[in-house]
Amino acid sequence: MTIKVQKQFGSYFDDWSESCSRLQHLLHCVIIVAMVGVVEFVAISTETTWDNVEPNRFSWTIFAYCLRFLSLLNLPMCVASFLGLTMYDAFPDPVRLRADPDSLPFVVVRIVTRGDFPDLVRQNSLANLRVCKETGLRHYSIEVVTKKSVQLPKMVHLREVVVPDFYEPSSGSMYKARQLQYCLEDGINELGDEDWILHLDEDSVLTPDAVKGMMNFIHDGEAHFGTGLVVTTRGPVSNWMTTLADLIKAADDMGRTRFLLKAFRKPWFGFKGSFLLANAKAERIVSFDNGPVGSMTEDAYFAMKGIQEGFRFGFIEGEVLEQSPCTLGDFLRQRKRWMQGLTLTVSCPKVITVHTSDCIGYHIRDNHDFLEIHSLEDEDLADDILFIVAIDSTHLIEWTVLQVPRPDSRNFQVDLHYWRTKIWLTIFYLSWLLTPLILLNGLFSKFPDPTPGIFKSIFTFNIAISTYYYLYGTLKNEKYLGMARSFLILLCLPLVIPFCSLLETASVVYSWFGHTNDFYVVKKVTRVLSSSSSACLSSSPSARCWRPQASCIP
C-alpha cells in the first residue's frame, strides 16, 4: 500500500513539475516575442527620407549605411538562437534516465590538462568520479591526460596518462590537440569502436543530469558527437565582471547550438571542446592530427572535419559546471586565442587527394586549388567522384568531401574550394571580428538615413535577441547564483549589457594586434571538496574498470 501511494505521489509530482516547466517556457516565449515586437515597433515607427539628409552629411550617411549592412552578419546566429529558445523547452525538467546502465558501452571521461593546477584536477576528478558512481553509470573510467603528472590517487576507475615530451603527431599538432591525439594512437588507445569518450576541461564538473543525458544520448544512438549546456557560475564567483560577460553562454548553448544540432545535426557555427561526447571510432576517423592550423581552436576545426566526413551531431540533456576567467587579463587572452584560432580555421589551406586511381595530380593557380584529372579509365564511373582530403604542402590537415559532376571531356579542372562547409562558420567569425564596427550603429541610431523598413526590422531584431541573451542567461543560472543575486542582476541589466558589450569589444580589438603563439590557459581557482568525495574510493563489484584489467589498481 505504501509503495502504491509513493508511486502515485511521484506521478503527481512529475505531472506538476512538467506543468511548471511548460508554464515557464510559455512565459519565456511571451517575453522574448514581446521584447522583439516592442523594439520592432519603435524602429519601424521612426521613418526618414532622403529629404532629411543634409548635403554636407551625405558621406556620413553612406558610412552609416555600411555599418547597418555589417549588422546583417549577425542575422543567421540571432535567427538560430530565437528558434532554439522558442521551439524547444528553454527550462526543461530534470533529466529522466531512459537507458539501462548495464547495457551501455564503456565510457571514458577524458580530462585534458597541462598539469599546472594539480589540486584542482585531483578535486574535480574525484568529484566527477563520485557523480558517475552515484548516478548509476556502470562501465566507465576517469582519465586525466596531462603534460606533467598531477599525482592522481591510485583508484579503480581513475587513470592518469602523461604525454611524453618526445611525442610528435605526424602533422605537427600542438597544445591540447597533441595530447588528445596521443590518446588515439595505436598502443595507447584501448577503446573499441562502440565505446565513447566524454571530453572535459580541467575545471569541468559533471552534474547528475549531465551523466543521465550522456547515457540517454548513447542509448538513442542518433548521433556520433554531442554537446550540451555549460554553466559558468559554479561555486563562489571569483570575478563578477567576467561572470556577467559569460552569462550569454547559457543562451548560446540553449538557443543557437541546440537548434542547429537538433534541426540539422550539424554545428555550422562551431563547437566547444568541453562537454564533448564522441564515439571512439568516429573520433579516430576525424582525429585531432590537424597540424598547427587546427591546434589553436581544435574544437572548431574538429567540428568542420566531422561535418565534412558526414557524421551526425546531437544535443545532450543536462549541464556541466565550469568557472569563468578569474581576471580581466585572462578573459581578454582567452578571447584572443579563440579569435585567432578561428582565423586559422576559416582561412586554412587545403591538401587535396582523390579517392580513385584516376587522379594524375593537382596544382595551384591564381591562389586557387584545382584538381586536374587527365583520364578516366572506367567509363562506368559513378556520376559523382568522391574527393577527400587536404594538405598545407607537407602535412595532412583536413578531410574534405566534394562532389564533382562527371565531365563531358576527359580533361577538366575542378575548383576545390569547399566553402559550403565553412560558410556559416565564416559568417559567425566575421560578425565577431567586426563587433566594434557593428556596435557603432548605436552612435548612428539617430542619424537621419532613409533605411528601408526590412533592414530596420533586421537590425532591431538582432538587438532584441542579443539583449534577451543576458536576461535568459541570468534566469538559467539562478539556481547557482541564488535568487537574491539573480534579481539584483536583472535590475542592473541596463548597466550590465553595455558593460559586457564593451568588454567583448575590447577583447576583439585586443585580438587584432599581435599573434598569439601559445595556447593560453586561464588561471583556475581551486575549491575545497567536501569529505563526501571520499565515497568514490569504493566501487561496486559489477563495475568494469579501465581496460586492460591489469591497469586497474584495486
- 529-539 per-position pLDDT tens digit: 333 333 333 33
Could you tell me which residues come within 8 angstroms of residue 295 by beta carbon, excluding any fewer than 6 positions away? 173, 174, 175, 176, 177, 178, 519
What pLDDT is attached to residue 272?
87
pLDDT over threshold 70, residue 58:
no
Could you tell me which residues come within 8 angstroms of residue 470 by beta carbon, excluding any fewer than 6 positions away? 247, 248, 251, 493, 496, 497, 500
Q: Determine the length of the chain.
A: 554
With CA atoms as reference, report the closest residue to 309 among 360, 276, 267: 267
Residue pair 288/177 in contact by the 8 Å Cβ criterion? yes
What pLDDT is attached to residue 262?
95
pLDDT over threshold 70, residue 469:
yes
Question: Degrees (nearest 5) of the Cα angle 498, 501, 506?
Answer: 125
pLDDT over threshold 60, residue 547:
no
Q: Which helix (H) or strand (E) element contains residue 4?
A: helix 2-45
With CA atoms as reference, report the closest residue to 313 among 350, 262, 378: 262
What pLDDT is attached to residue 46?
62
What pLDDT is attached to residue 55?
55
**Could you tell me the pTM of the whole model?**
0.79
pLDDT over threshold 80, residue 456:
no
C-alpha span between 169 and 165 (Å, rounded): 12
Which comes out higher in pLDDT, residue 456 or 148? Answer: 148
Which comes out higher in pLDDT, residue 417 or 269? Answer: 269
Which CATH superfamily includes the segment(s) 107-347?
A: Spore Coat Polysaccharide Biosynthesis Protein SpsA; Chain A (3.90.550.10)
Average pLDDT, the chain: 77
What pLDDT is attached to residue 66?
79
With CA atoms as reference, report the closest residue to 283 among 108, 101, 410, 55: 108
- Grid cell digits, residue 343: 582565423
pLDDT tens-digit map of 320-372 = 999 898 889 889 988 998 998 898 888 875 433 333 333 323 333 333 333 33
Percentage helix, strand, coil for the chain under 3-state DSSP, each rounded to 5? 50, 15, 35
What value does the CA radius of gyration of the chain take, rounded to a whole number of Å? 26
Share of the chain above pLDDT 70, in %: 71
> What are the residue boundaries of the structural domains of the chain, listed by start?
1-47+60-91+427-491, 107-347
What pLDDT is attached to residue 49?
53
pLDDT over threshold 90, residue 126:
yes
Which comes out higher in pLDDT, residue 251 or 547? Answer: 251
pLDDT over threshold 90, residue 160:
yes
Instruction: Tell me the mean pLDDT in the region 308-329.
Output: 92
C-alpha span between 146 and 323 (Å, rounded): 20
Question: Degrees (nearest 5) of the Cα angle 538, 274, 81?
Answer: 130
Sign of CA pseudo-dihedral 164, 165, 166, 170? positive
Confidence band of 53 (pLDDT split at 50, 70, 90): low
C-alpha span between 306 and 29 (Å, rounded): 33
Residue pair 140/536 in contact by the 8 Å Cβ criterion? no
Least confident of 9-18, 396-405, 474-483, 511-520: 396-405
Could you tell me which residues come within 8 angstroms of residue 396 by beta carbon, excluding any fewer than 6 positions away? 170, 171, 289, 291, 351, 389, 390
pLDDT over threshold 80, residue 386:
no
Residue pair 390/422 in contact by the 8 Å Cβ criterion? no
What pLDDT is attached to residue 216?
96
Confidence band of 460 (pLDDT split at 50, 70, 90): confident
What pLDDT is attached to residue 17?
53
Question: Degrees (nearest 5) of the Cα angle 154, 155, 161?
Answer: 60
With CA atoms as reference, report the closest residue to 247 among 508, 30, 501: 501
C-alpha span between 10 and 137 (Å, rounded): 23
pLDDT over threshold 80, residue 515:
no
Question: Degrees (nearest 5) of the Cα angle 192, 218, 537?
Answer: 75
Confidence band of 193 (pLDDT split at 50, 70, 90): very high
